[in-house]
Amino acid sequence: MSEHVLSQTEVSDAEDEIKPRKPLLALALSLCPGLGHHYAGYLGRGIFFYILLIVASWGAAAAFMFIDSRISVIFLATPFVGIVLIALDAYRLAKRQPADYKLQWFNRGWIYTAVFLTLAVTINPLMDKLAGSQIVRAYFITSPSMDPTILSHDIILVNRMVFPKKQDIALIEFADDDQRQLTNLEGGGQLLGRIIGVPGDIVEVNANGVYVNGKQLVEPYANFVEPTRTGALYDETSHVEPTQVPTNSYFVLADNRTYGFDSRILGFIPKEKIGGKVTKVFWSWNLDEGHFKWERTALSLK
């Protein structure tokens, strides 16, 4: 009777297949949501929670934009709360696994690394780009063109799902060639402006103010940092003769009428250049004083 004797390599390989799960490691790996579940032996559950977190975060961002109340700030915590709950669930499941846990085909270090890199380099950037182009995008403000409605160092949110109406603040996006042709500046960029005239309106700007369809606008949001010496609201360089807004175009003015870069200079803005409705200030940082402007957090913009 022959006896089969395992080689040292075979014994080592067999022992390597049995490894208890470490709850703290599952917790740490959950910084990449779902990877802790992957490690703990619950691959499908990890994938489900990763997708759920993305959907919940997008939904929370949409709710934050549409709810006209400062209470909407609670939705900003959704991604962080979701990551914590996912990590705790991975910790619990790893702790529940037996000491003689047998490694699954996906419990390999190189697979964890591949999953992390795939999410970090491809999936997450793709999801961010998709959300930024279709749902919501944040911008850091460096210009006083919309002061006092929007201040320098505000971080604003642009709702990509809604096209702005008259009196709404719009994001205007220029490609490289557009920006160079219109402003003689290098590179493309974005501007903010309030929609004053829509297709078919007759707009006029003169020394007395802004007129739409022959009626002077009352504009509590308009700001004149340096009034003209004559006392007129607008000097001759800002005058716009009565003109009808063309089809698929808009007449846009900045709230800061002294420094604003708008339709007085650019002319009518084509519809395809309008990238969404500016809805809220996400938060604001006072660089001079070195602190957050908490009173502007979740501030709805009118």
Least confident of 7-11, 26-30, 196-200, 279-283: 7-11
**Looking at the predicted structure, is the pLDDT value of residue 162 above 60?**
yes
Segments making up each domain of the chain, as ranges: 8-134, 137-300
pLDDT of residue 231: 64
Q: Report in angstroms the alpha-carbon separations of 20 from 27, 46, 86, 89, 108.
A: 15, 19, 20, 17, 14
Q: What is the mean pLDDT of residues 258-281?
A: 90
**What is the distance between the alpha carbons of residues 36 and 29, in angstroms, rounded to a whole number?**
5
pLDDT at residue 42 greater than cutoff 50: yes
What are residue 216's DSSP bridge partners? 211
Closest listed residue to residue 202, CA positions, set 243, 165, 238: 243
pLDDT of residue 214: 94
Please state, in angstroms and rounded to a whole number, the distance separating the CA atoms of residues 100 and 91: 17
How much is the pLDDT for 228?
Answer: 63
More confident residue, 233 or 87: 87
Confidence of residue 186 (pLDDT cuts 50, 70, 90): very low
- Rounded mean pLDDT, 216-230: 82
- Report, as an integer, the average pLDDT of 234-247: 89
99 band by pLDDT with thresholds 50, 70 and 90: very high
Residue with the bigger pLDDT between 172 and 295: it is 172
Dump pLDDT digits (tens) for 101-128.
999 999 999 999 999 998 888 877 777 7
Answer yes or no: is pLDDT of 151 > 80: yes
Query: What is the pLDDT confidence band of residue 132, given thresholds at 50, 70 and 90?
Result: low
Does residue 285 register a pLDDT over 60? yes
Is the pLDDT confidence value at 10 over 50?
no
User: Which amino acid, 278?
Assistant: V
Mean pLDDT over 50-58 rounds to 91
pLDDT at 120: 84
Task: Reply yes or no on domain 137-300 having CATH 3.30.1660.40.
Answer: no
pLDDT at 179 over 50: no
On whether the CB atoms of residues 40 and 97 are closer than 8 A, the answer is yes
233 falls in which pLDDT band (50, 70, 90)? confident
Question: Where do we find the tokens 């160092």?
Answer: 153
